[in-house]
Amino acid sequence: MERGAAVAIAAAYEKPNYGTALQAFALQHALDELGVPNEILRVEGGLRREIARNRREFYLRHLLDFALYCNKAGLARSVLRRKLDARFRAEWARRCEPFARFAGEHLRFSPAFDGMEALREGCRSYRAVLVGSDQTWLPVNA
């Protein structure tokens, strides 16, 4: 796809839940119906690693923010269970697999970007970038 004529979609498609998967699909489908060339920005490789590092640094900077950690207690429990409980880890992998398959079969993606700077530079080649997920605005993703 020629990027100069295309619109990029920033979506949290990689999260294994129905809301993020359907939001990414619906926005891409709506643009297709309008005849607007588009692709979802791929979050893999160097970009995924950089996002993960930034998230760890965010939580370390806010280590004493009790309210933040209370709000994230469910997420923290899930992460710990995936690390410590083999049965839960297997169930989680079984849950993630259909979402990955759905994305592979129904979504179109950009090439992978090797970090945030490459993403910034790559986005300049699109006609526009649509933010298609409220998740991208979370402070932890800044």
Provide the pLDDT for residue 140.
65
Looking at the chain, how many residues does it have? 142
Query: Which residue, chain included where needed, has tokens 């991208």?
Result: 136
pLDDT tens sequence for the chain (142 residues): 666 679 999 988 877 888 889 999 999 999 999 999 999 999 888 777 888 888 888 777 877 777 777 777 777 777 778 888 889 888 888 989 999 999 999 999 999 988 888 999 999 999 999 997 777 766 666 6
Give the contacts of 75 (CB within 8 A, at least 6 positions apart): none
Task: Report residue 59 as tokens.
Answer: 């939580």
3-state DSSP: the chain helix, strand, coil percent, rounded to 5? 65, 10, 25
Using CA atoms in the order 27, 78, 97, 23, what is the torsion angle rounded to 10 degrees?
A: -10
Across the chain, where does the E strand assignment appear?
A: 7-10, 38-42, 109-112, 128-131
The pTM assigned to this predicted structure is 0.76
